[in-house]
Amino acid sequence: MTRSLTMDKPDARNRLDAMAQGVIGKPLDRPDGPAKVTGTAPYAAEYQVEGCLEGVLVTATITKGEVTSIDEASVLSMPGVIAVFSDERMTARSAQGGAGEAPVQQVRQVAYWGQPIALVVAETFEQAREAAKQLRVEYRAQSDAVLEPHSSHAPVETSGEPTIQGDLEHAMSEAAFAVDVTYTTECHNSAPMEPHASIAQWDGTKLTLHSSLQMVNYNVKELADALKLEEDQVHILSPYVGGGFGSKLGISAEGVAASVAAIELGRPVRAVMLRQQVFQCVMRRSETTQRLRLAADGEGRLSGFGHEARVSNLPEEEFAEPVLQASEFLYAGQNRRLKLELARVNLMTAGSVRAPGEAVGMQVLESAMDELANAIGMDPVELRLRNIPERHPSKDIPYSSRKLAECLQDGAQRFGWNGADRAPCRTREGEWWIGTGMASAARVHNLNEAQARVTLCADGTAIVASDMTDIGTGTYTVLGQIAGEMLGLDPKDVLVRLGDSSFPPGAGSGGSWGAASTGSAVFEACEALRERLAQMLGCAEEDLSLKDGFAITGNTRTALPDLLGGSEIEEVGHFKSGEIEDAFSAAMYGAFFTEVAVNAWTGETRVRRMSGTFGIGRVLNEKTAASQCMGGMVWGIGSALSEEVVFDRRDGHLVNPDLAEYHIPVSLDVPHIDVTFIEERDPAGSPLQAKGVGELGICGAAGAICNAVYNACGVRVRSFPMTPDKLLAELPDPLG
Q: Write out the catalytic residue numbers.
A: 695
Choose between 346 and 473: whose C-beta lies nearer to ligand MOS. Answer: 473
Give the dihedral of Cα atoms 362, 364, 369, 374; nearest 10 deg.
150
Binding mask 335-354 for ligand MOS (x = CB under 6 A): -----------------xxx
User: With 0-12 CB in 10 A as exposed, 13-18 as middle and 19+ as buried, what is 161?
Assistant: exposed
Indicate whether 214 belongs to the interface with ligand MOS (CB under 6 A): yes
Choose between 333 and 511: whose C-beta lies nearer to ligand MOS. Answer: 511
Shortest gap between Cβ of 632 and ligand MOS (angstroms)? 11
> CB atoms < 10 A from the CB of 39, how many?
9
The two beta strands, 302-313 and 335-344, are: parallel
Indicate whether 356 belongs to the interface with ligand MOS (CB under 6 A): yes
Shortest gap between Cβ of 695 and ligand MOS (angstroms)? 6
CA distances from residue 224 to 206, 265, 281 in whole angstroms, order as listed: 11, 18, 21
What DSSP character marks residue 349? P
Residue nearest to ligand MOS (CB): 246
Shortest gap between Cβ of 24 and ligand MOS (angstroms)? 25
Give, for 637, the enclosing helix (H) or strand (E).
helix 622-641
Choose between 82 and 471: whose C-beta lies nearer to ligand MOS. Answer: 471
| Region 228-247 residues binding ligand MOS, contact defined as CB under 6 A | 244-246
| Region 400-419 residues binding ligand MOS, contact defined as CB under 6 A | none
| Binder among 506, 511, 519, 703 for ligand MOS (CB under 6 A) | 511
Indicate whether 25 belongs to the interface with ligand MOS (CB under 6 A): no
DSSP string, 58-113: EE-SSSSEEEEEEEHHHHHTSTTEEEEE-SGGG--TT-SSSBTBPPP--TTEE-ST
Choose between 354 and 422: whose C-beta lies nearer to ligand MOS. Answer: 354
Give the dihedral of Cα atoms 390, 393, 394, 396; nearest 10 deg.
0
Binding mask 521-560 for ligand MOS (x = CB under 6 A): ----------------------------------------
Give which of 466, 472, 470 is closest to 449, Cα–Cα: 466
Shortest gap between Cβ of 357 and ligand MOS (angstroms)? 9
Choose between 44 and 537: whose C-beta lies nearer to ligand MOS. Answer: 44
Cβ-based neighbours of 563, under 8 Å, separated by 6 or more:
533, 536, 537, 551
User: With 0-12 CB in 10 A as exposed, 13-18 as middle and 19+ as buried, what is 162?
Assistant: middle
The two beta strands, 569-577 and 2-7, are: parallel
Indicate whether 296 belongs to the interface with ligand MOS (CB under 6 A): no
Indicate whether 652 belongs to the interface with ligand MOS (CB under 6 A): no
| Binder among 488, 510, 700, 721 for ligand MOS (CB under 6 A) | 510
Report the distance separating Cα 244 and Cα 189, nearest Å. Answer: 11
Q: Are 664 and 641 in contact (CB under 8 A)?
A: no
Shortest gap between Cβ of 696 and ligand MOS (angstroms)? 12
Give the dihedral of Cα atoms 653, 659, 662, 667; nearest 10 deg.
180
Choose between 302 and 645: whose C-beta lies nearer to ligand MOS. Answer: 645
Cβ-based neighbours of 152, under 8 Å, separated by 6 or more:
none
Binding mask 132-171 for ligand MOS (x = CB under 6 A): ----------------------------------------
Phi, psi of 329 (to 5 degrees): -125, -10
Indicate whether 249 belongs to the interface with ligand MOS (CB under 6 A): yes
Shortest gap between Cβ of 353 and ligand MOS (angstroms)? 5
Shortest gap between Cβ of 246 and ligand MOS (angstroms)? 3
Choose between 511 and 687: whose C-beta lies nearer to ligand MOS. Answer: 511
Interface contacts to ligand MOS, rule CB under 6 A:
214, 244-246, 249, 352-354, 356, 510-511
